[in-house]
Structure formats: structure tokens, C-alpha cells
Chain A
Amino acid sequence: MEILVCVKRVPDSAENEIEVNRDGSDIERDDLVYSVNEWDNYAVEEAILIRDKVGGSVTVITVGDDESEEVLRREMAMGADNGLLLCDDAFEGSDGKGVASLLKAAVDKGKYDLILTGAQADGGAAEVGGMLAAMLDYPYASLVNKIEVDGDKLKVGREIEGGNQEMNEIQLPCVLSIQTGINEPRYVGIRGIRKVASVEIPQHGAADLGVDAATLGAAGARVKRLDYFVPEMGEGAEMLEGSSEEIVAKLIELLKSKGGLK
């Protein structure tokens, strides 16, 4: 099975405090640690597991700048066979639909049976996979937490409310967005990264993909982010202050009065 996995380089929210910058035009990007989007890592692991079972290859693709190459290399160190970087100044500021249309152009130039994305990324929109599927006219399932290959079909589980799982049969080729917890992504060591350090990763720009630059990037976006801010949400928590003994004593009193301690 030929599998394409769409990944993204994002600020690692486990490693960074995400804060708004001074004028609210962006998040504070100084000293940010970047990594591959957590959901995408599960998607790549799932692709590798499927390939190892039924054969074929795994290609990881991203829309980004030169620095995004590092996440492609990381996923290749996990075991992906090929990387593909969609990179062009014209792509900057694209909205979700713009990103999906770039991926669509890349899919049209290849031949893939299965396309995976992470269920969501840093923007929390969870939109690119579903858009890509609709553009390709492929069936789609989101929030997938189980995949079984069955000939030219897949049996997939979707995570729905209350921890329940919705089982579906879906025909290939298809697009699936992958939920965390579907597998346990393998660890990538320094040695693994070194092995793929010199592998050539092809880059495609607007001309290579045959896309119209005027419909891309910030100019083509119908959805635009104006600013970042931190909302005032009422008073927030009453912060307990003092030495740790004082805080513990205050908390025990509170817990007793609220029924948290007998």
C-alpha cells in the first residue's frame, strides 16, 4: 500500500509556554522549541505499522519552510521511506483550504492508496484532512483510533463522545485523520536521525505543483487571523500563597469545608 502522511512542524506545547507577543500580532516566538505535531507522529507510526504488515511505502509530506525539513527527517528516522517538502514564498499565510489545495496538487502528481493526517494541529481547526478528501472526492473518516486492512477496504474505528468507538468500513483510496492513542509511536534516537541526515528531500514550489500562486497564501485566504489575545475570563482561581506548609494547611481547610476530606 502506498501511504502519504501529512505532517506539520509546530511549537511544542509540552516544551513551551505559549504566550501572546507584545503587540498581539503573533505568539512569542523567541526561544520556542519546535517539533512534529503530536497527532501527526501517531499517523506516521500507524502508516509504518500498515506498511510493515502489507508492504508498500510511506511518504511524509509537509507544507512549510526550509526548517520544516527537520520534521520530515525525524519521521523518516522513524521509518518513513520518502519525504516531500512543499515550499514557496507564495504559500505563506495560506488558510486551511490553501494548505489542502497544495496537498491535493501533490497527491495528483503521485499515486497513493491511503492518505493520513493528524486529527488536528496547533491551530486546532482539524480541517485539512476533510478538505483534502473532498477535493480528491475520496471518502473520509476523522478521529480514527483503529485501522484494519481488508483488501481494497479498511475497517476503521472513530473515537466519538463518551469514549465510544464508531466502526466503519471505508473504501480505498481514502483520507483518514488520526487520533492520539491509536498506537505507541516509536522512539527516535540520535543515531536514527543521523542515518537520514544526508538523504535528499525533494522540494516542490508553486510552479512544480502547477498551482496558481494568486489563489494561495495570505492573498487567497478567505479566513484570516487578525490577532492573538488572552481573554479575560472572570476572576479566575484564588491563588493560595505562602510557604508550602501554609498552602497545604489552607488547602486542607478548604477541602474539609467542601466535602473533599472527611
Chain B
Amino acid sequence: MADIYAYTTHTAGVADDSALELVAAAKKIDANAAVTAIVTGSGAEVDKVADAMAASYAKVLKFNLDALAYPNAEVVRKLLVNVLPADAIVLVSNDTFGMDLGPGLSIKLDSTFVADVVGIEGVDGTVLKVIRQEYSGMVSTHVTADMSGGAVVNLRPGAFAPDESQSAGGSVEDRSGDAGDLTVKRTFLEVVEAEVGDVDITKSDVLVSVGRGIEDEENIEVAQELADAMGAVVSCSRPIVDAKWLEKSRQVGTSGQTVKPKVYLACGISGSFQHMGGIKGAPFIVAINKNVKAPIFQMADVGIEADILDFLPELTDAIKES
């Protein structure tokens, strides 16, 4: 089988969690693989991350260049095309950087792209069999990918348990001199931090969180009344923010806030992985939804099949009385 490479990302001199998930996924493709990590960036931070990665990867290719100071997917794609063999199997985390990088990389390497993989079933010859999800996680699929000409495989963050064995005893090679031409037509300017809202949902022990099931802006009031009765705070899923019914700072999810409450009431929320990715610390999750097939019922501790517009006011009244 072709060599397996993992593009590992890092923040402030520390490898992201995904770096150890990628090596775990690589072992599922080939248990005996000597996996190579690629670390890019500029300055002393890259040296530090590359050295740390050598504990988990057989080989680490380091690219320490000013042009790589910020992970601009256009620049990184060009670098990878310049340095990787055409038949490489490249693993990338399916975060907002990996989604920017992966599809185009597969075209430039003339290899096969497999998006947002949540499970690896195995390899038969050069055919990789994986599990993906469709329709926001409502159904799963088995998918085969022909890797005979190489592959770019984007792996969902959190779907693979990190390999923390730290037993690779790998070596670091500084390959900065091989980077080649990295000129691109997109320039990184700055990161604009999310606005801080009037309420900090990350500080609340109890969240009453609303999703599409709330149906109308006026009905947000129903959730607010329950939250008031419980001494909780109202948070929400993405569609509520897209509709501008609540501010962005109230959104739970990978593209919103990461929360660690004790109790989480998911009201009319289907439970997409992007939403659940923002809930940490194993809270007690109550799901209230009129669709019993909603994925949230697989992840919640307690489920109630009900229309939240009927159920929440009843709950509010009962709490006030008790």
C-alpha cells in the first residue's frame, strides 16, 4: 500500500487533538503503517510541535517558512502538491481548515477524495471502505473509495479515539528547502474574534437550548420563560442564529460556543454533529422533539416525544407551582 501521510494542525505551539486522531485512523487503514506527519508553520513553535509529534509518528516532515505562518489552505495545498508522491494517502481533519484543503488537494494530486469520514471498516486491495453520514446525520452509509491512484481522506474531528501511546519514536526531517513555489491568489488578512453577547452561555450550569422546532421568532419567549423558571439561560442551535432570532453568542456548536453545563435541555434540536460538538463535559441531556427519529435521541440521557410548543409551557407552569 502507498505511504500514509497526516497533515497535522497546531495552535500556539501545541498540536491540535486531531493530530492523534489522524494517527489512530491511519492504523485502521494499515495496522503496520509507518505514518508520516506533516507539520507546517513558522518560527520556534513549529520546531516544538514537530518534536512532540515524533512521539506519535514514525516520521515528521517539518516545513518552517514565513509563508506558512498562518494555515492558509491555498498555500498548504500547493506545498503538499510540491512535496507528496502522487499516490500518497493523505489524512486531514475535517475541520474548517481541512474542508478548505481536502477537495482541491485531491484534484491536484489526481487522487480520490473521501469527505467527512466517521468510521473506517478496512481495506481490500486498494479499496478503502468507510462509514459516512448524510442528511445531517439522520442516516449513515457505507462507502468505498478506490485508492489505487492515491487518496485524500477527511476525517471527522472527534470520530476517532486519539492514539496516545506515544510509542512511535519517530524522527523529524526539516524539509523547508523542498517547499517550492508557494505563490497563491488568496491572502490571509486577520481573524476577527466572535462578538461577546449580553449573556455568556459558557458560564451557565443549566441551558435551555432551542432549535428549528421553535418554529417562529415569537416562540423564543416560551423557552425564555422556562429558563427563567429554572434559573437557566437560553442557548440555541445554528438555524436560530441564521434566522437572526438570537445572537451568535447564544449558539452552541463547533461554529459557535463550546459549553460545559450540568444539564442541557435540547428543545426541538435534531442533534447534528456540529451542534453536539459544542457540548463538552458529559452533561445530563434531555431531548424534547416531536420527531422520534431525530439523532438527538441517540445521544440524550432522557427523551420526550412532544411538540416543544405544547410541552415547554406545561413544564414551566409545573416548575412554578412546585
Contact = CB atoms under 8 A, between A and B. Distances in A.
Interface of A: 11, 13-14, 17-20, 27, 96-97, 100, 122-131, 133-135, 138-143, 155, 157-171, 174, 180-181, 184, 222-231, 233-234, 236-240, 244-245, 247-249, 251-252, 254-255, 258-262
A124 B133 CA distance: 7
Interface residues of B, number: 94
B100 A131 contact: no
Interface string B127-151: 0010111111011111111100100
A49 to B, nearest CB: 16
Given A131-B106, A164-B191, A237 B297 contact: yes
A181 B242 contact: yes
Contact of A229 (B107, B141, B145): B141
B258 A162 contact: yes
B293 interface: yes
27 contacts: A13-B136, A124-B134, A126-B116, A128-B103, A130-B103, A133-B104, A134-B104, A139-B74, A139-B184, A140-B104, A141-B100, A142-B100, A143-B96, A157-B192, A161-B254, A164-B191, A167-B192, A170-B186, A171-B186, A180-B238, A181-B238, A238-B301, A239-B297, A239-B305, A248-B315, A251-B302, A260-B265
B29 to A, nearest CB: 16
Contacts of A162: 194, 255-258
Contact of B146 (A140, A222, A254): A222
A129 B304 CA distance: 39
A236 B293 contact: no
A222 B114 CA distance: 10
Q: Is the interface of A mostly helix, strand, loop or mixed?
A: mixed
A159 B113 CA distance: 23
B133 A244 contact: no
A222 B143 CA distance: 10
B28 to A, nearest CB: 17
A122 B133 CA distance: 10
A126 B230 contact: no
Contact of A226 (B96, B142, B256, B298): B142
B1 interface: no
Contacts of B105: 134
A122 B135 CA distance: 5
A226 B145 CA distance: 11
Nearest to A254: B302
B303 A236 contact: yes
B302 A18 contact: no
A112 to B, nearest CB: 16
A154 to B, nearest CB: 10
Interface string B198-214: 00000001100000100
Contacts of A166: 96, 188, 190-192
A202 B109 CA distance: 34
Given A19-B139, A160-B96, A162-B255, 8 more contacts: A141-B186, A158-B96, A223-B113, A231-B140, A237-B285, A240-B302, A254-B284, A261-B319
A227 B130 CA distance: 11
Interchain residue pairs A-B with the least CB separation, the first 3: A130-B103, A237-B303, A260-B263
B140 A230 contact: yes
A210 to B, nearest CB: 19
A262 B206 CA distance: 11
B314 interface: yes
Interface stretch (B48-56, B166-174, B216-224, B244-252): B244-252
Interface of B: 72-74, 77, 95-97, 99-100, 102-108, 112-116, 129, 131-136, 138-146, 149, 184-194, 205-206, 212, 230-232, 238-239, 241-242, 244, 248-249, 251, 254-258, 262-263, 265, 284-287, 291, 293, 297-306, 310-311, 314-315, 318-319, 322
A18 B299 CA distance: 18
A168 B70 CA distance: 11
A252 B115 contact: no
Contacts of A124: 115-116, 132-136
Nearest to B145: A223
A158 B100 contact: yes
Given A223-B114, A260-B206, A135 B107 contact: yes
Given A143-B99, A168-B186, A223-B143, A237 B302 contact: yes
B230 A260 contact: yes
Contacts of B238: 180-181
A138 B107 CA distance: 12
B113 A127 contact: yes
A165 B191 contact: yes
Contacts of B303: 236-240
Contact of A169 (B107, B145, B186): B186
B191 A236 contact: no
B191 A237 contact: no
Contacts of B188: 166-168
Contact of A227 (B72, B142, B244, B248): B142
B252 to A, nearest CB: 10
Contact of A174 (B114, B185, B206): B185
